[in-house]
Chain A
Amino acid sequence: MEQEKKEIMTRERIKRVARLAELNLSPDEEVRFQQDVQRMLEYVDCLNTLDTDGVEPLYQVIEDNPVMREDMPESVYGREELLSGAPSERGGYFAVPRSFQ
């Protein structure tokens, strides 16, 4: 039985996802990624054939590992080190373009 594949990844959704991901896509790329993502979504849809009622999501593979520590600030790296990779730096600060939004 040939199921009609639902178009989950519409043109609108691709644009929205690209905005969320802060990626500029050219019109050609929009089409291409729309097809790629749609194809992946159709493929992973097979997960829905599994009954997961009452199953807890597995976020961490080692589940009983204590992860909390005291919230004590520590100075590990100096200003110079932290600015060493800066594309643009001014007076000991990262210089970034202004936002018009």
Chain B
Amino acid sequence: MTIMDYTALELGAMIKNKKITISEALDAVFERIDAQENRLHCYLTLDREGAYAQARTLQEIIMKGEETGPLFGVPLAIKDNLCTKGLRTSCASKMLENFVPAYDAEAVAHLKRAGMVIIGKTNMDEFAMGNTTENSYFGGTRNPLKEDHVPGGSSGGSAAAVAAGECFAALGTDTGGSVRQPASHVGIVGIKPTYGTISRYGLIAYSSSMDQVGFLTKNVADGAALLDAAAFYDPKDSTSVAREKSWQGGFDQGVKGLRIGIPKDYFEMELDPEVGKAVMEAARALEREGAIVEEFELGLAEYAVPAYYTIVCGEASSNLERYDGMKYGYRADAKELHETYGKTRSLGFGTEVRRRIMLGTFVLSEGYYEAYYLKALKVRRLIKEAFDRAFGHYDVLLGPVCPKTAPKLGALQEDTLWGYLADKYTVPANLCGLPAMSIPCGRDALGLPIGLQLMGAQFHETLLLRVASTFEKLYQQSDAGRRPS
């Protein structure tokens, strides 16, 4: 086994026991990065100097034998819409191409305190708008498993970096599936916590009522460790929730007696048969382990995407008003104020961003607000009520993450609406603020990974982790899931 084969927690243990130094771990990561980045393009910014400096500081603490946490010294990659003090944060946009934050995002600060070492900032769809990472101003990222395919998005760079061994874990963000979907497409674990669990302070806003920091990791235990290290109440984020860390009690109790519900509606929508098959096989495996598995009618499934896109574009158009070229970011050359606004925003934002701003501005505008935005918010409540009813009967809901495996590069460029429909299984968790996870459950005929989605009621991450870790053990024993040595 080489260093890069370790999970984040395994590496953490080796570092704690002084079997590996943090610098050695960084050497291994940068060796991989140097060998692959020209092709894969997972990163937008690498901070070699900062990482090694941090490694030296942290190593001293290890050598002194001081008390350290399980992730101490582990190299971490961060999606480029999370502010990192002194390290360029671009949101993969021309608008923030040269933006260097004066502060760390709260989630970043917590993981730094836990001793994680930041290696760099990863590629993403511009301002998190997209699901292939092709909307990046700096060019896309390749799926490490099949390099002429996308890694998914918008946290594609983070997901690809974990899958390619270019970091041990990565932060992403999930507004409509942007952690779960790339995790599914590259065959790793993705966790989107309950809304309010991770502070959004320093997360460059896309859709404030749905944005949430998420974790991309090699396995479930790593994901839980990052969740634990970053979940704290933050008074600076008015949507932050003071909550119990229920998962600290452990999640290895198995699934006997747990009620797992499978929304029939998801299988009645357009879904690749290989994906459907892998997901149902996963459900049967869990049933053999003692879970009570049942199909049921969730309801309103086809309304999630239209409600989501109306709300997300409205909120995005509002959040992106701040990019006016005045106080930071790109400023176009113009003589007059409004001319500067218009030119800056037209040149600074890519096409998809401008498209969503246009739609969002319209649905929030006078005369249309009630018919579109407010209507979508009412449908949102109906969708939430459908999930509340489902969680009255089931502990966890199970289904696909995406209707297909990772498309080829360039496949979605012409048909944006079809691209939006690909989010149909992931957006409900964002609309309702539910915790959700993606874990590997199969491969298609081309060898592309298939993810299994688990959704829980708000604040019930522990149930998700229980089901996920049970399934992970089963899957890793199967041929498809066997860990490469």
Residue from A44, A85, A88 within 8 A of B376 (CB atoms): A44
Residue from B239, B303, B331, B458 within 8 A of A47 (CB atoms): B303
Known: A22-B324, A56-B378. A61 touches B209 (CB 8 A): yes
Residue A3 at the chain B interface, CB threshold 8 Å: no
Known: A22-B324, A55-B381, A77-B103. A40 touches B309 (CB 8 A): yes
Known: A37-B362, A81-B102. A67 touches B306 (CB 8 A): no
Known: A77-B102, A97-B334, A101-B337. A56 touches B361 (CB 8 A): no
Q: What are the residues of chain A within 8 A of B328 when measuring CB–CB? A: 85-87
Q: What are the residues of chain A within 8 A of B359 when measuring CB–CB? A: 36-37, 40-41
CA distance A11 to B375 in the complex (A): 25
CB of A52, distance to nearest CB on chain B (Å): 4
CA distance A82 to B337 in the complex (A): 21
A67 touches B238 (CB 8 A): yes
Residue B327 at the chain A interface, CB threshold 8 Å: yes
A85 touches B345 (CB 8 A): no
* Main SS class of interface, B: helix
A60 touches B310 (CB 8 A): no
CA distance A62 to B336 in the complex (A): 43
B357 touches A23 (CB 8 A): yes
Closest to B338 in A: A101
Residue B196 at the chain A interface, CB threshold 8 Å: yes
A58 touches B377 (CB 8 A): yes
B324 touches A46 (CB 8 A): no
B362 touches A9 (CB 8 A): yes
B358 touches A23 (CB 8 A): yes
Residue A1 at the chain B interface, CB threshold 8 Å: no
Residue A18 at the chain B interface, CB threshold 8 Å: yes
A-B contact count (CB 8 A): 165
A67 touches B303 (CB 8 A): no
CA distance A67 to B209 in the complex (A): 14
Residue from A23, A67, A96 within 8 A of B326 (CB atoms): A96
Residue B365 at the chain A interface, CB threshold 8 Å: yes
B102 touches A99 (CB 8 A): no
Residues 8-58 of A contacting B (Cβ, < 8 Å): 9, 13-14, 17-18, 20-25, 29, 33, 36-37, 39-41, 43-44, 46-48, 50, 52, 55-58
CB of A17, distance to nearest CB on chain B (Å): 5
Closest to B433 in A: A61
Known: A47-B303, A67-B238. A21 touches B361 (CB 8 A): yes
Q: What are the residues of chain A within 8 A of B431 when measuring CB–CB? A: 61
B346 touches A25 (CB 8 A): yes
Residue from B103, B195, B346, B380 within 8 A of A57 (CB atoms): B380
Residues 376-394 of B contacting A (Cβ, < 8 Å): 376-382, 384
Q: What are the residues of chain A within 8 A of B238 when measuring CB–CB? A: 67, 69
Residue from B331, B355, B384 within 8 A of A33 (CB atoms): B355
B327 touches A23 (CB 8 A): no
A48 touches B375 (CB 8 A): yes
CA distance A39 to B310 in the complex (A): 13
CB of A19, distance to nearest CB on chain B (Å): 9
Residues 70-100 of B contacting A (Cβ, < 8 Å): 98-100
Q: What are the residues of chain A within 8 A of B307 when measuring CB–CB? A: 44, 47
Known: A20-B365, A24-B343, A46-B302. A56 touches B358 (CB 8 A): no
Q: What are the residues of chain B within 8 A of A56 when measuring CB–CB? A: 378, 381
CB of B454, distance to nearest CB on chain A (Å): 18
CB of B214, distance to nearest CB on chain A (Å): 15
CB of A62, distance to nearest CB on chain B (Å): 5
CA distance A14 to B357 in the complex (A): 12
B327 touches A86 (CB 8 A): yes
CA distance A24 to B347 in the complex (A): 9
Q: What are the residues of chain A within 8 A of B377 when measuring CB–CB? A: 57-59
B361 touches A43 (CB 8 A): no
Greatest chain B CB density within 10 A among A20, A52, A61, A98 is at: A61
B382 touches A44 (CB 8 A): no
A97 touches B209 (CB 8 A): no
Residues 193-216 of B contacting A (Cβ, < 8 Å): 195-196, 209-210
Greatest chain A CB density within 10 A among B306, B321, B376 is at: B306
The 6 closest A-B pairs by CB, nearest first: A61-B433, A85-B328, A57-B377, A87-B331, A52-B378, A99-B337
A selection of 28 A-B contacts at a CB cut-off of 8 Å is: A20-B365, A21-B345, A22-B338, A23-B349, A23-B357, A25-B346, A33-B354, A40-B417, A41-B362, A44-B307, A44-B376, A47-B303, A47-B310, A47-B375, A48-B375, A50-B382, A55-B381, A55-B382, A58-B381, A61-B210, A62-B196, A85-B98, A85-B328, A88-B331, A96-B337, A97-B337, A98-B337, A99-B338
Binding site for B on A (CB under 8 A): 9, 13-14, 17-18, 20-25, 29, 33, 36-37, 39-41, 43-44, 46-48, 50, 52, 55-62, 65, 67, 69, 77, 81-82, 84-88, 94, 96-101
Given contacts A20-B361, A56-B381, A60-B209, 12 further A-B contacts (CB under 8 A): A20-B365, A22-B341, A41-B362, A48-B375, A52-B378, A55-B381, A55-B382, A59-B209, A59-B377, A85-B102, A85-B328, A99-B338
